[in-house]
Amino acid sequence: MPDQLPDETRYRLLSFLASHPEASQRDIADALGVSVGKVNYCVKALVGKGLIKVRNFKNSRNKAAYAYYLTPQGLEERVKVTVSFLKRKVAEYDLLRDEIERLTVELDATREITR
């Protein structure tokens, strides 16, 4: 189920499919750094939830290839997971910035002591 997929996975998959609808599952897996099996599972879950539609088309590499299109509900989900993903990344950034600041102060104090 897409609700069980981490926000980052849904975000990355929906964003990739929005800009690369004719990518193969292997292309998707390579771009996202996951297995083809995980992509297949995620795609099936997103189709089942009505977030994407799959259409057959002719392709020079394959006789029958697929194109993945976000449904209106899928576009809404993409916005929702983008907001969630961004909030999490901003929080991570804030924590990292605070840690860098703390370490910088600590390093400066250590340098003062060793002078």
Q: Where are the domains of the chain?
A: 2-84
CATH number belonging to domain 2-84: 1.10.10.10
**What pLDDT does residue 38 have?**
93
Cα–Cα distance list, 76 to 10, 14, 64, 72, 93 (Å): 12, 10, 29, 6, 26
**5 pLDDT exceeds 90?**
no
Could you read off the pLDDT of 16-66 as tens digits, one per residue? 999 999 999 999 999 999 999 999 999 999 999 999 999 887 665 655 688
2 compared with 35, residue with greater pLDDT: 35
Q: What is the distance of C-alpha 26 from the center of its chain?
A: 16
**What pLDDT does residue 57 have?**
72
If you count them, how many residues does the chain have? 115
**3 pLDDT exceeds 60?**
no
Does an H or E element contain 103, and which? helix 72-114
Per the CB < 8 A criterion, the answer to whether 46 and 74 are in contact is yes
Could you read off the pLDDT of 59-109 as tens digits, one per residue? 656 556 889 999 999 999 999 998 988 999 999 999 999 999 999 999 999
Q: Binning pLDDT at 50, 70 and 90, where does residue 1 land?
A: very low
This prediction's pTM: 0.70
| Cα 25 from Cα 104, distance rounded (Å) | 45
Per the CB < 8 A criterion, the answer to whether 8 and 83 are in contact is no
